Structures are given as structure tokens and as C-alpha cells.
Amino acid sequence: MLLENLAPAPDLAPFVKQYRIADFTFQAGQAIPFKAYPPRAEECLQFYPKDAEQVEYPRGGHQCPQTNVSLIGQHTMVTNRHIGQNFLTLQVVFQPGALFLLTGIPAAELANHYLDAKAVLGGEVARVNEQLFYAASYQDMVMVMEAYLRQLLRRARGESHPITRVARLMQQYPNRYSLEWLARESCLCYRQFDRKFKQHMGIGPKQYSRIIRFDQAFRLKNQAPQQDWLSIALLCGYHDYQHLVKDYRLFTGCTPAAFYQIEAQAPERAFGDREV
């Protein structure tokens, strides 16, 4: 079993935040729980060299077609992810705005979508996925991935913008800066800031900030299960517990305690791991 976050090569760090590798093998006949994947401030390219996962949107009843390579836009809702007996995945987590830079597609058009990457990036991703299957080690998988990412960057279609820098600031320092200050740092009036932010990040800056804070609370509770929810709320910049509940209901449809119990059944928990 492996669940690990890896740093990208220095030349790719401006575009890639990290790689996530998960490698789980379940026994034949073993019941495999689904992963309730909560919203987080990220866009991803995800490869499945072995069994693809089945993704559904529980709040809308929509189920996505299975694909061996997926392109995942910025999400504001939970997805339930059902994996197979032999699950291996390499997920590229992009830096804010990098997916728009690579594709030239306004990020708002990809928001809350789990797509077949071939439809956006072309059939080459299938060849890369096959190379990942035959890679001799996890490090070899990363080398294959990084060679492909460098090819993508050479034919990038979008344009960089100062707004990507402020989005990184929002992720690095949650609750430190006001949206008005961030707009000024982008050299934009607030209306332009909101429009450009949606183009590059997929959603507006206010909602993006709320997702960052929600994700911080979600991970902190996993890290410190003994911590009560009010303390979690205050540590993450919420006014009180009900303020935290409001965001949990918005992004998961559940109270904090109810979603914690759902997420506690995630596949990685069977191997003693969790997201922190």
C-alpha cells in the first residue's frame, strides 16, 4: 500500500503543486468502501494504469463514464469515488491557474466536471498511461509523467496573469488577506478581479476562499480527531461552530460530524492512512 505526496522537479514547480500516488490492492471478495472526495482548491490530471475508478455526484445522481485518464476541474461539491481491487493512480495537482495556461480553456467551463482527458488533451495521454503501467518503480512513473508535462508546457495555449499569484497566496495563507486587497494586488477593480479569477480558477474568489478554509478544517479534524468541532472552527478562521456547519452543508450536504463519519470509511483507512 502506498499513499504519498511527491514534489515536482524544480522546472515544473511553477505549474505543478504536487503528485499524489495511491497504490492499493484489496483481497478478492473484500468489500471496498467508496471515497467521499470533498471539494478542495485544486485542478488535476489523473492517470489510472490499472483499474479505473467510478465517479458519481451524490447530490445530483449523476454518474461519470469510466476513463483511464481524467481531467478534473475545480469542484464545489463532493464526488463519491469507487475503486477496484487493484487500484493504482498518479494524480497531478496543478498550481492555481496552470490548467488554463496549458489548455487555454476558461477554467469555469471545466468546473465541477470529471472529464475524459483524451477529449481535451488528445490521445497521447493514453500512451502515457500505458507507460505508467509498465514503469518499474514509482520514481519511474514520475519521470514518465514529467516528460509528458514538459511536452504540454511547450505547447501551452493560455496566458499567465498576476491573478495566479494571489490565488497561491490564498492557499498558502488562508484568511490573511481580504479579497479587496487581493484585487488591488492583481491591479484590477473588484469586478474585473472576480471575472478574471473565474476564468483562471473556475470559480469566484469568495467561493475559492471558502473552499480553502473548509479543506483546512476537514484536514485538521483528520489530523486531530480528538479536537472538538468548535475548536476546529476557530482555528480555521470561522466565527463559530454554526459558521463551519454552513460551509459543510454547502460543500458536502452534511453536518461536520456526519461527513466525518462518511469519510472515515474511505479506502485508505483500511490501511491505516488518512488525509491530513
Q: What is the mean pLDDT of the chain?
A: 94
**What is the average pLDDT across 170-196?**
94
Pick the CATH number of 163-203 from 2.40.50, 3.30.565, 3.30.2000, 1.10.10: 1.10.10
pLDDT score recorded for residue 271: 64
Largest CA-CA distance found in the chain, in angstroms, rounded: 58
* pLDDT exceeds 90 at position 276: no
Task: Give the containing element (helix H, strand E) for 130.
Answer: helix 124-134
Q: What percent of the chain has pLDDT over 70?
A: 99
**What is the average pLDDT across 203-216?**
97
Question: Comparing C-alpha atoms, which of 85, 109, 104, 107 is closest to residue 96?
Answer: 107
User: Does domain 2-154 fall into CATH 2.60.120?
Assistant: yes
pLDDT score recorded for residue 270: 67
- Cα–Cα distance measured from residue 207 to residue 214, given in angstroms and rounded to the nearest whole number: 10
- Cα–Cα distance measured from residue 203 to residue 183, given in angstroms and rounded to the nearest whole number: 15
Question: Comparing C-alpha atoms, which of 268, 274, 272, 238 is closest to residue 256?
Answer: 238
Residue ranges of the domains in the chain?
2-154, 163-203, 206-271
pLDDT score recorded for residue 272: 67
pTM of the model: 0.94
- Cα–Cα distance measured from residue 82 to residue 98, given in angstroms and rounded to the nearest whole number: 28
List, for residues 127-163, the tens digit of each pLDDT value: 999 999 999 999 999 999 999 999 999 988 777 789 9
Residues forming a β-bridge with 54: 82
Q: Does 110 or 267 have the greater pLDDT score?
A: 110
Indicate the SS3 state at residue 16. Answer: strand
Residues 6+ apart with CB under 8 A from 96: 41, 164, 167, 168, 171, 200, 201
pLDDT score recorded for residue 161: 86
- Cα–Cα distance measured from residue 108 to residue 120, given in angstroms and rounded to the nearest whole number: 15
pLDDT score recorded for residue 168: 95
Q: Does 168 or 2 have the greater pLDDT score?
A: 168
Q: What is the Rg, in whole angstroms, of the alpha carbon atoms belonging to the chain? A: 19
Give the number of other CB atoms < 10 A from CB of residue 141: 23
pLDDT score recorded for residue 28: 86
pLDDT band at 115 (very low <50, low <70, confident <90, very high): very high
3-class SS string, 61-97: CEECCCCCEEEECCCCCCEEEECCCEEEEEEEEECCC
pLDDT band at 217 (very low <50, low <70, confident <90, very high): very high
Tell me the backbone φ, ψ of residue 186, rounded to 5 degrees. -85, 0
pLDDT score recorded for residue 45: 98
List, for residues 252-269, the tens digit of each pLDDT value: 999 999 999 999 888 887
Contacts of 57-63 with C-beta under 8 Å, sequence gap 24+, read: 58/253, 59/253
* pLDDT exceeds 90 at position 94: yes
C-alpha cell at 230: 468548535
Residues 6+ apart with CB under 8 A from 186: 161, 162, 163, 166, 193, 196
Q: Does 59 or 241 have the greater pLDDT score?
A: 241
List, for residues 35-84, the tens digit of each pLDDT value: 999 999 999 999 999 999 999 999 878 899 999 999 999 999 999 999 99
From residue 5, alpha-carbon distances to 18, 104, 149, 158, 209 in Å are 6, 27, 17, 27, 23
Q: What percent of the chain has pLDDT over 90?
A: 85
**CATH top class, domain 206-271:** mainly alpha
Fold match flag (163-203 vs 206-271)? yes
